[in-house]
Amino acid sequence: MRKIADPWPMMAAGLRALSGLMVVALAAAAVPAFGAPDGDVSLLPQTASIATRSAPPMPLAYPTTRAVDLVEQKFGVAVADPYRWLENDVRVDSDVAAWVREQNRVTDAYLAGLPGRNIFQQRMKQLYDYGRYSTPRKGGSRYFYSYNSGLQNQSPLYVRDGLKGAQRLLLDPNSLSKDGATALAEWEPSPDGAFLVYAVQEGGSDWRTLQVIDVTSGRTLSDRIEWVKFSRLAWDAQGLGFFYSRFPAPPRDKAFQSPNENQAIWYHRIGTDQSADRLVYATSSRPKLGHSAEVTDDGAWLVITSSEGTDERFELTVVDLTRLDWANPRWKPRTLVRGLEHDWKLVGGRGNRLWFVTDKGAPRGRMVTLDAAKPRRAPVEIVPERPDTLAAGSMVGDRIILAYMSDARTVAVLVESDGRWVGDVPLPDIGTAAGFGGKAGDPETFFSFSSYTTPSTVYRYDTATNRISLFAQPKLAFDPDDYLTQQIFYPSKDGTQVPMFIVRRKDLAISAKAAPTLLYGYGGFNIPVTPAFSAAKLAWVEQGGVLAVANLRGGGEYGKEWHDGGRLANKQNVFDDFIAAGEYLMANGYTGSGQLAIEGRSNGGLLVGAVVNQRPDLFAAALPAVGVMDMLRFDQFTAGRYWVDDYGYPDREEDFRRLLAYSPYHNIHSGTDYPAILVSTADTDDRVVPGHSFKYTAALQAARIGPKPHLIRIETRAGHGSGKPTDKLISEYADYYAFAARWTGMELKAPPPPHSVRPD
């Protein structure tokens, strides 16, 4: 029933009930990622190299940033906020727009002069240039999937009539805008495959516009639905219409900053105007609740999952769809699970019996059934808790696939609907599996599998026979066998053993020499970081660098206890885990002094900002992207109000004092030399509004923190990450890693000539 999600959900941000389940990984092509070249690399001999260290750094002439005398008293503490004016929307405030232009002018000039920038850009372009398929979804006898031939900015959507049918282009989002920044976001075929509803994402915004395609003709219908955000798309069994989630239309000048409240479930009938849509479920007395809707495969029940924050603490509401007059439906919601206390993920349903994965009575998850017609009955356990974390389940055919995490790697098992074990799903290797969407009665499903050095390969899986077969495998511009991935466990400050993946070239692993190292972390919102492929990060490793990915507390690698160990009063544990990872890499010879760069996005951007303030001596370079940098005002904008589950409430004294202690914006220490820092954000980010990064950068540049550069890269027509065009991804990551290479002393070599390595 529920598809196990693809890698890289971007920060929970209230999306837990809607973002699918399972994994976060380093797949830069799917991840939010955020001048003049340094010479024609094609003219360099293939053995040439560029040393990235040069003369000692000279202080940069930063743009002047106006500081205002704004000090607020909070719980007896005077809190200065001299750059609050930078919170204003860059598209509305001309002063903020001018500041952005000046910052980009200085940053662009600096990046244009970086040795090796063009080397990274050229090689990343080669590494990105491979065919990428999504896992297919079925509607009737039709198969729907996206496919990117390599360097297309957005991935077109295709359909096949039958598994062996000819591939037919259904929708090409590259035709929707000249700059490639209009993306195809969520989509879902009707049960019979006659229609497909899809979401259009403009410039990286979280807002969506829904439209519908007649699959047979390929014609886009007149249906158009606006102000959709954080929504599933769920068809009724007849394919007459679909359920979706939307917010009230905000004022146009506040659309990208106002908090999201009063989300409701609506039903849209194909061929009608949005004004005719039927309200299904709303909670006006509890405006902070968000809602998502699913329909069981047999069409019997609408299951509504409601939450208030980012925690997996849900209420369940059901609507019996079997007795509706669809021409004039009257919805009769009934509560199935009351109280925001536990996680409930729908696995599937047959008649009145619904299967769920829950942490009720099992911190690492178990599978139970509930009776939709008799809400007061207690859950019946089908699969008990086990040591690994149960992330998700999907009913496919007459059986159920359960996906577990074992030390941040995917393990999948097949069970009967009554919980009896059938066998392990035969995954091809150690890594991350995603997909497994399917339907009761149809044993066919698809999943993708990837690792740090192998891009996603798509497999077909038959639950009746427990056999897999290849659906699509990419041709690559490198040989995965040239690289080595290992998993180690290191002690954090309090002795907790933390897992970390380390990726290197095999020849460098054998030589065991210290090398420039990129350390990545996230540590929040119960989101696990699992192995997946990133062309950009492979370019770093290919140049002789080390990639290290730490599975910090606060994530979802080991269930509720691991999450709780890194949030609220325990948030400092996340920073301690990350600092300990850096110290381990140095102490064990992976990297040396002046060779360690750190990277994080969103909540990971907060992580980078906080640890730089706490241990500026440990790092040579820092790459905080789209970060939450003002911990006293994060809840004032868009999705920020959801994050109190992990961070706490800034207006409560106990939480305020904790937040103030690590807030990156408020804890920059003048008089201490800081590493080189390249902040990044985007002008249309309405998840973590760019004001966080603007204010943080202004504070960095005003402080006396040494001569290394402290710059900000501000992308235009881009948001928090999803939907970012391929050319922007390549340009952005080439800038990131050329900057990190410069300050970690990496010796860059010109890329090899393009070639293709045919997979086995």
Q: What are the catalytic residues? A: 602, 720
Cα angle 446-15-382, degrees, rounded to a multiple of 5: 55
Bridging pattern class, strands 264-269 and 132-133: unpaired
**Which residues, including other chains, have CB under 8 Å from residue 34's CB and lie 6 or more apart?**
625, 626, 680, 681, 682, 713, 715, 718, 721, 724, 732
Q: Are 241 and 273 in contact (CB under 8 A)?
A: no
Q: Are 202 and 173 in contact (CB under 8 A)?
A: no
Backbone dihedral angles phi then psi of residue 506, each to the nearest 5 degrees: -60, -40
β-bridge mates for residue 356, sequence order = 346, 368
Q: How is residue 599 annotated by DSSP? A: E
Euclidean distance between CA atoms 160 and 147, whole angstroms: 12
Q: Are 604 and 10 in contact (CB under 8 A)?
A: no
From the CB of residue 273, how many other CB atoms can be counted at a distance below 10 Å?
Answer: 12
SS3 501: strand
Taking Cα atoms as reference points, which of 431, 435, 391, 402 lies closest to residue 563?
391
Euclidean distance between CA atoms 428 and 426, whole angstroms: 6
**Which residues, including other chains, have CB under 8 Å from residue 217's CB and lie 6 or more apart?**
none
Output the six-digit token pair for 14: 């209230």
C-alpha distance from residue 174 to each of 28, 286, 360, 702 (Å): 19, 40, 45, 42
Burial 513-549 (b: 16+ CB within 10 A, else e): ebbbbbbbbbbbbbbbbbbbbbbbbbbbbbbbbbbbb
Q: Are 462 and 443 in contact (CB under 8 A)?
A: yes
259 burial via Cβ count (<10 Å: 0-12, 13-18, 19+): middle
Which regions of 219-343 does DSSP assign to beta strands (E)? 219-228, 234-235, 241-246, 264-269, 278-281, 290-295, 301-307, 314-320, 334-342
